[in-house]
Amino acid sequence: MRALISVTDKTGIEELAKGLKDLGVEIVSTGGTYKKINDAGIEAIEIDQITNFPEILEGRVKTLSPYVHGGILYKRDDENHVNTVKEHNIKPIDIVVVNLYEFQKALEKGNPDNIIENIDIGGPSMVRSAAKNHKDVLIVTDPADYDELLERLKNDEIDLLYRQKLAMKAYNLTAFYDSIIARYFSKLIGEEGKYKTYGFEKESDLRYGENPGQEAALYNDPFVKGLMENIEVIHGKEMSYNNYNDLNPALELAQELGEKAVVALKHQSPCGVAVGSDIYDSYTKAFECDSQSIFGGIVAVNGIVDGKTASKMHEIFLEIIAASDFTDEALEILTQKKNVRLVRVNFDNETVKEEIRYLNGKVLIQGKDFGKDEVEIVTNKKPNEAEIKDLLFAQKVVKYVKSNAIVVAKDMKTLGCGAGQQSRVWALESIRDHFKDRDFTGAVLGSDAFFPFSDTVELAHEMGISSIIEPGGSIRDKDSIDKCNEYNMSMVFSKSRHFKH
């Protein structure tokens, strides 16, 4: 039996080589792998002794040879194949242990020449060849599989199911690897091809999904350095599916609003948002928006949580507190509760440029809703400077509220978020009815889409709201504009719809 070993990740390779040698397996190897095995005192054959040709083109060509691929690909139960390899003096290769050049690491370093040189050619070719002929050849691409391989060889427990499992992992690796390369070139030229490729690397299994009856796992997209890329859970229980799912929009909104922003979120929609004079002021205002819904929710802080803010947070149960950082005093206070998850996040990371939704057999992909800080005044009354500031703030928040959505805000803090209603006016009614004693005088209103009727304007006037921002675009825009003029309210069109379903 002969094994070909050629790896970039050399984890455990000496132990594997020794184990194979002890089982009587002849080892063929390449370059750095051969040197490492040889230096460990394990006998191996260099690849050029098999190919009868030296490694050329700075290593670009070393295993692309019929003496390699013939030895891997021929069918052991096909007489014609057996006669062919004998005729050409090609010896069988029964085990292929290969992993690939570190393209991702080269990508991170950013040197274009180095990136291209780290596109592996021979490695994927050997992996695919061995996986295709898995009935006769064992293909091992993951160092985590070395121990099981040796144990199965030792006990003669190599069955077809095991071979198929290794083949699956092999093609899984090459598909992932090629997806990263394809996305690199797509980004380079600013165009998409016919096929949309994504490669996700499994990070961990989760206890369950949205509900206990659903399986779930967390995957990492190595091509994107997004907000969730390097979050660090520094205290608390293991993160759940719902934790990750809720944390993401909270972080995105906190990032979009900038430093000192605090976002409280529950079930995928903000319940309190503020940008105050400092983090304590922001958190207090976000809490005051909806002190009931924030309980058991997620809080994202674009800044450092200090002791004073931590003491305020400690008064209620919060599932997650995510922040740029925490002072020592804050950590001392917040870690007193075992169940609260404290997460450190880098708000300087980029945000993703697209969103993916997997349907039942179809996939929807869309660009991220960034919107614009542009307004067109459409009423006789113009909003003042403070109102303009609040209108833009409300528009940013409403992007993250489930549709149909309304946000009422004043002084850079939300006074109410109406989410997920079938009728837009119901979203505003839910704010009015939930906060019966709240003074909305002089507040502004942000809507995720246009008003098909003037009923929302009429209710806003009754509540004391002074200015409205909405996209416009309804055939009945004039009805709402006329109502605003009648009530001496100002209205601006953003011309950007912000549905979030």
Catalytic residue numbers read 132, 267
In order of 60, 136, 318, 323, the CA distances from 261 in angstroms are 51, 60, 17, 10
Distance in angstroms (rounded) separating the CA atoms of residues 119 and 127:
14
Residue type, 343: V
- Which residues, listed in sequence order, are joined to residue 366 by a DSSP beta bridge? 355
CA distance 164 to 30: 26
**318 and 293 Cβ atoms separated by less than 8 Å:** no
Residue 163: closest CA among 132, 128, 138: 138
Q: How far is CA 468 from CA 47, 286, 289, 493, in A?
A: 73, 21, 19, 8
Residues 382/363, Cβ–Cβ less than 8 Å? no
- Amino acid (1-letter code) at residue 221: D
For residue 251, the tally of other CB atoms under 10 A from its CB is 27
- Give the Cβ contact number of residue 348 at 10 Å: 9
DSSP 238-301: PPPHHHHHHHHHHHHHHHHH-TTEEEEEETTEEEEEEE-SSHHHHHHHHHHH-TTTTTT-EEEE
Q: CA 355 to CA 134: how far, in whole Å? A: 37
20 neighbors 35 (Cβ within 8 angstroms): no
Q: Are 180 and 124 a contacting pair, CB within 8 Å? A: no
Q: Which helix (H) or strand (E) holds 321?
A: strand 320-326
CA-to-CA separations, 418 to 311, 400, 433, in angstroms, rounded: 29, 11, 11
Backbone angles phi, psi at 386, to 5 degrees: -65, -40
Note the Cα 304 to chain centre separation in Å: 24
